[in-house]
Structures are given as C-alpha cells and as structure tokens.
C-alpha cells in the first residue's frame, strides 16, 4: 500500500474554478480512471460535493469535520487525517489522495509519490491552486504523453541523506 497524490494542474498551478475542474480532457479522465480503479480514493468534502456521486469500482473515502453523507455502498465518511491513515493500514491496494487543495495540504507530509498531469493552459480566473513548492521534496521518475499536449509526470519523494 502506498499513499499517492494524483492531480491535474495548469501552468499557473490552478486546479479548480467554481468548485469544478476548469477544463475537460477525456484522455486525462481515462488515465485517472485506469490508475485509481480497484484502489481507494480520498477526497475532501468540496470535491465530494462537486463529483455528486461515488466513483465506481473504488473505495470512496470522503473527509469532512462535520458534513454528512447518506449511507451508500462504496462510500466512507471520515473525520480526520488520522482516521484515514488508520483505515489505510487495512487496505490492500493503494490510497490515492485526489484533492482538492485543502485535502492535498492535509496529506502533504505522508504522500510518497505524486502523479501530476500537466495541463497546457493558464487558468487566469481559477480559485483553487496548488502551492508552488508542493514538489520540492520530490524528483521526477517517469513521464507519459497523453496526447492533446498533456504530460503525466510521476514523482517520488527524494531520499533524505543523514
Ligand atoms: N485538478 C485536480 O486534479 C482537482 C482534483 C480534485 C479537486 N479539484 C478542484 O478543487 C476544488 C476543491 O478543493 P478545495 O481545496 O476547495 O476542497 P477539498 O479539499 O475538496 O475539500 C475541503 C474540505 O475537506 C475537509 N477536510 C480537508 N482536510 C481535512 C482534515 N484534515 N480533517 C477533516 N476534514 C478535512 C473539510 O470539510 P468540512 O469543511 O466539511 O469539514 C474541508 O472544508 C474544486 O474546484 C475541485 O474541482 C481539482
């Protein structure tokens, strides 16, 4: 089991606008589906509301201090980072942190690997951004061309030298 951040990010680090993704690329949605299917995905309450439904064939773990969700198959409501990490110990697959920005921030120190789709756009009027330094402790290990100018880069956490 690994804890993996997965994000699509514009040239200016934008990731959201009006509680939605500010772009539509089916190749990236397909890549996201292929990568996360069969595993667990962790999302903040805003992203949950924006999706409006659980993503199929994945355990949907939603994080919220006080929000409520009608019980339904495939969805687990959690109240803290610690609760998610405790739960992760019992999972066989990987745990993908899928956003948004506040949830990435919550898990920033435990993410071992980032999968980042670089969107070839600058979204001037976006309202949710990744911090400019979120990959500082990471190094690129792989790169995949999705077409349409989209590049997926995989980053591993750099080894800490003692
Ligand atoms: N480009 C991408 O790859 C991507 C991916 C996902 C989302 N997005 C976009 O990002 C935007 C949403 O991002 P966001 O930062 O506003 O919201 P978010 O991370 O989806 O949700 C934030 C909420 O999650 C809960 N939460 C976060 N950390 C928590 C913690 N440590 N303990 C308990 N609850 C916690 C809180 O819910 P409560 O307030 O209910 O307590 C918090 O208000 C949308 O525009 C969405 O489309 C983009």
CB of 114 within 6 A of ligand 1: the answer is no
Q: Per-residue confidence at 161, pLDDT binned at 50, 70, 90?
A: confident
3-24 pLDDT, tens digit per residue, is 999 999 999 999 999 999 999 9
CATH of the domain at 60: 3.40.430.10
- Residue 11 CB less than 6 A away from ligand 1: no
CA of 63 to the centre of ligand 1 (A): 8
- Give domain status of residue 116, yes or no: yes
Q: What is the best residue among 12, 22, 44 to mutate for testing ligand 1's pocket, by most ligand atoms within 8 Å of CB?
A: 44
Please state the pTM of the whole predicted model. Answer: 0.98
Beta bridge partners of 145: 151
SS (H, E, C) 59-105: EEEEECCCCCCCCCCCEEEECCHHHHHHHHCCCCCCEEEEECHHHHH
The preferred substitution site among 31, 46, 146 for testing ligand 1, maximizing ligand atoms within 8 Å of CB, is: 46
Is residue 82 domain-resident? yes
Using a 6 Å cutoff on CB, does residue 81 contact ligand 1? Answer: yes
Whether 95 is covered by a domain: the verdict is: yes
Pocket test residue of 83, 99, 106, 108 for ligand 1, highest count of atoms within 8 A of CB? 99
Q: Which of 2, 22, 11 shows the shortest CA–CA distance to 100?
A: 22
pLDDT of residue 160: 84
Residue 162 in this model has a pLDDT that exceeds 80? no
Q: Domain tally for the chain?
A: 1
Do the Cβ atoms of 35 and 96 come closer than 8 Å? yes
Local structure of residue 126 (DSSP, 8 states): -
Cβ–Cβ < 8 Å for 125, 12? no
CA 18–ligand 1 middle distance (angstroms):
13
Task: Please check whether residue 162 lies inside any domain of the structure.
Answer: no
SS3 156: strand
Range of the domain at 83: 3-157
Inside any domain, residue 57 = yes
């Amino acid at each position: 089991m690994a804890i993996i951040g997965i994000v699509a990010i514009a040239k200016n680090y934008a990731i959201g606008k009006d509680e939605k993704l500010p772009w539509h690329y089916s190749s990236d949605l397909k890549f996201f589906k292929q990568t996360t299917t069969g595993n667990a995905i962790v999302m903040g309450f805003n992203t949950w509301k924006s999706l409006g439904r659980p993503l199929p064939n994945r355990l949907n773990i939603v994080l919220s201090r006080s929000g409520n969700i009608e019980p339904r198959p495939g969805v687990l409501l959690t109240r803290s980072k610690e609760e998610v990490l405790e739960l992760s110990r019992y999972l066989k697959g990987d745990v993908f942190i899928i956003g948004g920005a506040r949830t990435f921030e919550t898990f920033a120190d435990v993410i071992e690997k980032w999968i980042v789709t670089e969107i070839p756009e600058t979204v001037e009027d976006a309202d949710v951004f990744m911090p400019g330094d979120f990959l500082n402790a990471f190094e690129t290990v792989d790169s995949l061309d999705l077409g349409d100018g989209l590049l997926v880069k995989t980053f591993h956490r750099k080894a800490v030298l003692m």
